[in-house]
Chains A and B, each alone.
Chain A
Amino acid sequence: MDDQLLSETFVELTDTLVAGFDVIDFLHVLTDRSVQLLDVSAAGLLLADPRGELRVVAASSEAARLLELFQLQNDQGPCLDCFRTGRPVAAADLAAAAQRWPRFAPAARRAGFAAVQALPMRLREQVIGALNLFRADAGALAPPDVRVGQALADVATISLLHERSMRHSDTLNEQLQTALNSRVIIEQAKGKLAERLGVDMDQAFALLRDRARVSNRRLSDLAWAFVDGTEALTGPAASETRQPRPDSRPRS
């Protein structure tokens, strides 16, 4: 494990105390760091909304196949088990997990994953979500990686509560819903940008994120402005690699 990167990641936690902190971007950074620091190939943070649905708020890749795997886990899977029990849940070999998760296990394997680990996001007695880690190779995640993974999940929880009255369940619920709504804004922006530029969702997301950083704006604020029409994002000044797409040409 890269100790330098590990230290940096935890130092970045202090960013959460700064005004203008962008929690959505931070959660994405955490999922990226999970992949860089741990022996995993994909990571996603899921939050439970008060209706009990597990919803992705950030993932190391926006690839549809990965996001589908998170979506599936509302029905069954390591995240759901983890969320319900409040304990880590793992499968070292998904090929042997078909009985445990008859729909999730084969889907995960089709997506190229051989092992999975889910770690709970806990706040005192409450489980608010899970960090979902996928490995391309079979085999359990090593204990040091599990410990660091849990610490990253805990950091994610803390970042959602940057208000001072952290013990208040009101605040937690407000923050959760706001984060979930921000995700919807970002999805809407992804769709609009992907369609305008003729790129896929992953690329559209990367463009949004880059632009937010370059212009020093919150990701969800930029996404909002783009969907709302007050932020151009594309045009002569923007991405130089794409030509404007002709209107209304049918696509196969």
Chain B
Amino acid sequence: MAGQAAVRGGRVAAADACAAAVAAVEVTGAWLIAASGAEAGHLMRVTDEVSGLLAELQMTLGEGPGPDAVASGGPVLASDLGEGEAARRWPVFTPAARQAGAAAIFVFPLRIGVIRAGVMGLYRERPGPLNGSYLGDALVFADTATLLLLDAQDQAAGEAAARSGPGGQPTDLALHRAEIDQATGMLTEQLGVGIAEAFIRLRAYAYAHDRRLSDLARDIVERRLRLLPDPDPRQDGQA
């Protein structure tokens, strides 16, 4: 993804996940929709015309693997749109998608539990599942895109200058730790904010204090550390 950003001449951003995924997992194209909460999202990136068409079809119809993925919270993997299953599930979308040139579609909700950042979709001109390690790779791209989108949301709220967060340098992707999720939940109460904001603040605090996210989360969960809301949210303090 850094390579993609370099080509573009900018910092690593969520949109770079699309081109990187296409290169890495043998699909023809990708799209990225950013959406926080339940609102309809906006299309942030497409790698080709067909991706754009597929994304917009689903947003217009409200039908397709994308809407299903958002509803279920898990990926929707349609390895073969020519199989009866796809036409049954998405009677209007499927023929249109096939006509546009897609034979397989894989959609990943960009999500951390309740935190919703959007959707990433991949399509391929020939049918077949995401093989071997490709599914794992795609999920890594999805996770990275999720973190970058959350950082971008944070910055879009106008606090970028004062709180130069981890944006563009997502670390701590490695292992899922229950404590990070628990600490995020705890912070919604401690700081009186929504879950996405709580997560952003948790990461910002870790970055500002040069701490590993998992260690910080453990301190919070074990109640050695408590964050207090500050009138200036850029300066969340500790008790």
Contacts and interface: CB of A to CB of B under 8 A. Distances in A.
Contacts of B177: 71
A228 B183 CA distance: 16
Interface stretch (B55-63, B107-115, B205-213): B107-115
Contact of B185 (A52, A169, A192): A192
B233 interface: no
Contacts of A174: 72, 74-77
Contact of A195 (B135, B176, B189, B229): B189
A175 B74 contact: yes
B135 A173 contact: yes
Nearest to A178: B74
Contacts of B222: 64
B77 A191 contact: no
Contacts of A251: 223, 226, 239
B107 to A, nearest CB: 10
B18 to A, nearest CB: 19
A67 B30 CA distance: 37
Q: Which of A50, A165, A188 has the most CB of B within 10 A?
A: A188
Of the candidates A55, A191, A194, A248, the one having the most CB atoms from chain B within 10 angstroms of its own CB is: A191
B175 A188 contact: no
Contacts of B112: 184
A227 interface: yes
Nearest to A249: B239
Nearest to B218: A64
Contacts of B23: none
A49 interface: yes
A101 interface: no
Given A188-B114, A201-B182, A201-B221, A50 B226 contact: no
B6 interface: no
Given A169-B129, A173-B77, A201-B221, A190 B114 contact: no
Nearest to A181: B73
A76 to B, nearest CB: 14
Interface string B58-85: 0000000000000011111111000001
A182 interface: yes
B176 A194 contact: no
Contacts of A178: 72-75
Contacts of A156: none
A173 B75 contact: yes
Interface in B139-183: 139-140, 175-178, 181-183
B186 interface: yes
Which among A173, A179, A180 has the highest number of chain B CB atoms within 10 Å?
A173
Given A50-B135, A56-B178, A201-B221, A188 B76 contact: no
A137 interface: no
A251 B224 CA distance: 8
Contacts of B229: 248
Interface string A163-202: 0010001100111011111101101111111111000010
A227 B113 contact: yes
Interface centre among A169, A175, A185 (most CB of B within 10 A): A185
B136 interface: yes
B233 to A, nearest CB: 15
A187 B114 contact: no
Contacts of B2: none
A53 interface: yes
20 contacts: A49-B139, A175-B74, A178-B75, A181-B111, A181-B113, A184-B112, A184-B113, A184-B176, A185-B73, A185-B114, A187-B182, A188-B113, A188-B181, A194-B185, A196-B189, A227-B195, A228-B195, A248-B228, A248-B229, A250-B239
Q: Considering the complex of A and B, which 3 residue pairs feature the smallest CB-CB distances, nearest first?
A: A191-B185, A178-B74, A187-B181
